[in-house]
Structure 1
Amino acid sequence: MRRTLLALLLALPLAAQAAAPSALKAEDVPSLLKPPAHGVRVLALWSLDCAYCESNLQALLKLQRAHPREIELIAVATDSVAQQDALAQRLHAAGVDALPARAYAEDTPDRINYLLDPDWGGELPRTLIIRADGKRSGISGQLTPDKLATIAP
C-alpha cells in the first residue's frame, strides 16, 4: 500500500505537467487550421479572465465526448504560455485538463488572433470550427444549445 501511495505521489507532478498548455507560435497556426481528415476540428479560444470560457470548454468537451470520432477539440488560451501553471490549474479546476491545450507564445498576440481568424475582433470566448471539407466558421460568446448543435457533424 505504501508503494502504491508513493507511486501516486510521484506521478502527480507528471500529471500536472501533462495538462500544461504547449506553446503556440505563428508558424504553428496553419497546422491548427488545416482541415481534419473527417469530422470537425474545434478550437476553443479562452483566457484566464474570461467569464464564460470555463462553461464553454465544459460544453464543448461534453459535445466532443458524445461524438469522439467526429470532433477533435483543442483548447487555445490567448494568455501567454509563460502563465502555464495558472492555465493548467484553471483547466484542471474546470475539469477539462484532458484536452490538448495550447497557449500563445508570441510577443504580439494580435498577430496570432489575426492568423487564426481575420474576422475575429478578440472577444472571448470564441469557438472556431474547421470542417473536413475546408469550411470554417466562428462563434463568439457563450455557447447555447442551438449554437452547439451547429458544431456537431
Structure 2
Amino acid sequence: MRRHVLTALLALALPVPALAGTPTPLSAGELSVLLKPPAHGVRILAVWALDCAYCEANMQALAKLQRAHPHEVELVTVATESIARSAEIAARLKAMRMDGYPARAYAEASPERIDFLIDPDWGGETPRTEIIRADGRRQGISGELGEAQLRRLL
C-alpha cells in the first residue's frame, strides 16, 4: 500500500510531457515531494506571477541554464496564482516559450501558506528562485538573477 502512495506522490512531482505548460495543482500536501532533493543535480523552482514585470526574463535565464545543463538541472515553473486561472497561466507560459517545462499553480485558499511552506523566510515577492540540491541544501533568491548568480547555481 505504501509503495502505491509513494509512487502516486512521486508522479505528481515528475514532469509529464503531455501536460508540460498546463499547470497542475500545487497544494500544501504536495510540496514535500516537490521540495525533496533530486537524485542528482539541482531542481529549480521558478516561482512567478502573472503581474510580475521581471518574471519572464528570470524564467528565460533559468531555461537557458537548464538547456545548457539538461542532465544536472530540473526546472519547474510555479505560478503563485490560483489553479482556477490555469488557462491564463498556460497562455502566458506559451507566450513566454516556457510551456515545455512542468508547470504548477497554487491550489490553496491561502496562498501565503504555500509561500511559507516553500520558504519560511520568503515574503511572497516574485520572481523567486528556489534551488534544491541533491545533497539536501536549499537556497532561495528573490528578484531577477544576474549572470554571476546563475553561474553559481550549479
TM-score range, shorter chain: 0.7 to 0.9
How big is each residue's C-alpha offset from its partner over 1:35-91, in whole Å with a ceiling of 9 and x where there is no partner? 000000000000100000011111100100000000000000000000011100100
Superposed CA RMSD: 1.4
Rg larger in structure = 1
Conservation of the 8 A alpha-carbon contact between 2:45 and 2:76: yes
Structure 1's consecutive aligned runs of 4 or more residues displaced over 2 angstroms after TM superposition are 15-19
**Which stretches in structure 2 are left out of the alignment for 5+ residues?**
1-16
2:137 matches 1:117:
no
The structural deviation recorded for 1:19 is 2.3
Cα 1:35–1:95 change in 2 (3 A) is same
Equivalence for 1:53: 55
Conservation of the 8 A alpha-carbon contact between 2:20 and 2:101: no
* Identical aligned residues as a percent: 60
Out of 35, 45, 49, the residue aligned to residue 33 of structure 1 is: 35
What is the aligned length? 138
**Which stretches in structure 1 are left out of the alignment for 5+ residues?**
1-14
Equivalence for 2:140: 138
Conservation of the 8 A alpha-carbon contact between 1:128 and 1:137: yes
Equivalence for 2:83: 81
- Cα distance in 2 between the residues matched to 1:138 and 1:93: 26
Equivalence for 1:150: 152
TM-score by length of 1: 0.87
- Cα distance in 2 between the residues matched to 1:33 and 1:17: 20
- Cα distance in 1 between the residues matched to 2:134 and 2:22: 28
Cα 1:110–1:87 change in 2 (3 A) is same
- Cα distance in 2 between the residues matched to 1:17 and 1:96: 12
Conservation of the 8 A alpha-carbon contact between 2:19 and 2:102: no
- Cα distance in 1 between the residues matched to 2:19 and 2:42: 27
